[in-house]
Amino acid sequence: MDNSNSFKLACQISIDQFVFNKLQKFVIDKQAANDEVILSLASNSNYYSIKDIMKILNISTRKEVELLIKNLQLNKEKYRHLSANNEWLYNNDALNILKLYLIYKVA
């Protein structure tokens, strides 16, 4: 008779969290025992990629977002940082400035 019991738990989990958990599960072998892996998600860190900004502000093209960032001078270290994937991520201040600019232009 087997004493091990297994249970299935039904839960709702966001896709981002599922992907994040899947990435965190990696096999540690003898060579990688001292290596560090840093994984980050934009939703957890309050930094947004250009694709995230496009979705949030409902802008259709990447060029429009890049032009707005350039015109509003948001391409400074104060508003962005380079991720591990060599992609610029923008903070909440930059996102708020973009939102306010678009509201101002519409009004």
pLDDT tens sequence across 27-39: 444 445 555 444 4
pLDDT tens sequence across 45-91: 688 999 999 999 888 999 999 999 999 999 999 999 998 888 999 99
Indicate the pTM of the whole model: 0.56
Tell me the three state secondary structure of residue 35. coil
Owner of token pair 């201040």: 93
Residues composing the chain: 107
